[in-house]
A and B are shown apart, each in its own frame.
Chain A
Amino acid sequence: MTPDRGATPTPLLQVNDLVKHFPVRGRGPAQMLRAVDGVSFTVNAGETVGVVGESGCGKSTVARLVVGLTKPTSGSVLVEGGDIWARGKEGAERRRRMQMVFQNPTGSMNPRRTVGDAVAEPLQVLRAPGIRAKVEETLSLVGLKPEMADRMPHEMSGGQQQRAAIARAMISNPALVVHDESVASLDISLQAQILNLLVDLQDRLGTAYLFISHDLAAVQAISHRVVVMYLGEVVESATAVEFAARPLHPYSVALRRAALLPDPEIEQSRVEVGLTGDVPSPLNPPSGCRFRTRCPYAEQKCADEKPALRPAQDGHYVACHFAGIATATTALEGAS
């Protein structure tokens, strides 16, 4: 398989105005938890799109919606222009073109079956011949020994388990692999190894990634484009280079400031994060701009009027009335 970036005019994955509300039952009137509230983005073939945001901003729900583990309340997920929830074989076929790597490597393998059985599963469903050889080939591709197919998951280290999980996701040649915090549970040196492996696999196989993480550094290291989510909405979307240079949304700037810096001297003089309080409840999100309750630059307009996601630059979208008011460079200028 060769990478065919930009070969097709329709993007590989189109997410259109995706909404997922969960009914919350309890005392009092029924409430709706607005986990994902109108999210749109696209992923091109062979490209990596990173999604960042705090815990509880709806990242994982987006991941499950994209691969079709959860049905959206409204909105659509299109693979090469076709809805993944289309009736019959077509929809199932589109869903199978997307695979997922989960956060917890231990939990993503059946503890009573061998690693090889787990990796082989997507092929068994397709009744493909030569499964064993393909399993061993894929295991070596992700840097595991082929003999490890006979291991039980608990006989492997966390890093090996995550490599095996990647092998399972990659074995059926998916067009897109969703990584939901797939490196978050690994220690930092292993994270780097796995990220390198992912880049390497992408170069070889041309697989697109949707890389979901709370770790801005990991996302920037691997992504071509970055999408920032806050409380179920997209607040900013830009190319990784552009985002690194000029984040426009105050929330993105705060996220950048919260990231640890590798140089200890600069790190010590890092400007305070500037974000206080918790993410508001998605049961009852703030009016207007959802970030206004924690935004140091919020004004009356932010409460009255919801900022739309509008283009600020070519390929750079931001949902803020005062985009660019805070700059990441101020954080770094203070240091230098």
Chain B
Amino acid sequence: MNETPATVAAPASQTSRRPKLASRLLRHKSGAASLAVILIFGVVAALGSLIQPFDPIAGNVVASFSPPSAEHWLGTDDLGRDVLSRVMDGAKIALIVATVSVGVAAIIGLIIGVIAGYAGGFLDLLITRAQDVLFAFPTLLLAVIVSAVLGPGLINASLAIALVYIPRFGRIARSATLQVKHSEFLDAARLAGVPVVRMLLRHVVPNVMPSVLVLAALSVSTAQLAYASLAFLGLGVSPPQADWGSMLSEGRNFVTVAPWMVIAPAAALVLLMVAFNVVGDAVRDVMDPRGEHSKGAPIAA
């Protein structure tokens, strides 16, 4: 061949398949840092009572409202429960909410968005309008209504948030599908005789995934906040179980005498939210197939 492209000389590592998303995410500085933060929360939640200095539920009325000290690092609440232990126990709830609500919403949203975008016509109209109706409600109000109907509880509250979040995933999946729907590589796949379902899984979903993943990572923080609001209103887990939203709700009454009761869960909530947000940005950076060029990787063009 007369073409003498510089690419021929590319090192072998470049010609092999690109590394998986996770390992590329770990090489992204802020992505790795925020993943580490999330991991710490995860470990704390998983180890549970093994590392909690006190029983998060057992009260000790004599020690109520004690300020942060060597014994109670983050002080105690109105019933004398150790705030640090309760914050650590609440991490479990926060992470369950994050995965369940956003996971369910992202999967359902992805499916109906891709179907609506690819099918077009009446089905598209139906799905899009149904989502618009859901979208028209203020997020939190709808979540409150749904979880009031389903009844309080961790899973019910998560599902309520999931329902509220489906339309945003549906929309982004639909618009990403529309972008690739008329692409020539789909035409080529049609000519090759690829069945519709395989075409959706192989050619459409991988090109829709990046936007959905980024939105998922960014939604985790707001889902977290939405759950905290539901818990604040008493629609979350039932009382003795510690969770950040209800801790804030209780602590509000004593904010002048025992500000640590509010500060500790609020700080944990903010830290986890920021971490998920940064991961979201990192996912977006890493998912671009041409991203390695901009990072100056030695690929000849």
Residues of chain A having any CB pair with chain B under 8 Å: 64, 67-69, 92, 95-96, 98-100, 102-104, 107-114, 118, 121-122, 124-126, 143-145, 147-148, 150-152, 154-157, 159-160, 165, 168, 172, 190, 193
Contact = CB atoms under 8 A, between A and B. Distances in A.
Contacts of A147: 15
B182 to A, nearest CB: 10
A164 B214 CA distance: 32
Interface residues of B, number: 33
Nearest to B3: A159
B184 A108 contact: yes
Given A102-B188, A111-B207, A122 B193 contact: yes
Contacts of B202: 110, 113
B185 A99 contact: no
Given A155-B299, A157-B5, A110 B185 contact: yes
B289 A152 contact: yes
21 contacts: A67-B191, A69-B187, A99-B192, A107-B185, A108-B188, A109-B188, A110-B189, A110-B206, A110-B207, A112-B206, A112-B289, A121-B188, A121-B194, A122-B191, A124-B192, A151-B15, A155-B14, A157-B3, A157-B301, A159-B5, A193-B3
Nearest to B300: A155
Given A110-B206, A110-B207, A143 B183 contact: no
Contact of A154 (B17, B189, B206, B289): B289
A55 to B, nearest CB: 18
Contacts of B189: 110, 121
Given A150-B15, A151-B15, A193-B2, A102 B187 contact: yes
A147 B15 CA distance: 8
Interface in B184-237: 184-185, 187-195, 202-203, 206-207
A121 B192 contact: yes
A164 B202 CA distance: 19
Nearest to B209: A112
Interface of B: 1-3, 5, 7-8, 10, 14-18, 183-185, 187-195, 202-203, 206-207, 289-290, 293, 299, 301
Contacts of B290: 111, 154
Contact of B7 (A96, A100, A121, A155): A155
A173 to B, nearest CB: 13
5 closest A-B pairs (Cβ-Cβ)? A108-B184, A122-B192, A143-B1, A102-B184, A107-B184
Contacts of B206: 110, 112-113
B140 to A, nearest CB: 36
A172 B10 CA distance: 30
A23 to B, nearest CB: 14
Contact of A152 (B2, B18, B188): B18
A156 B184 contact: no
A174 to B, nearest CB: 9
B192 A125 contact: yes
Given A96-B193, A110-B206, A122-B193, A168 B3 contact: no
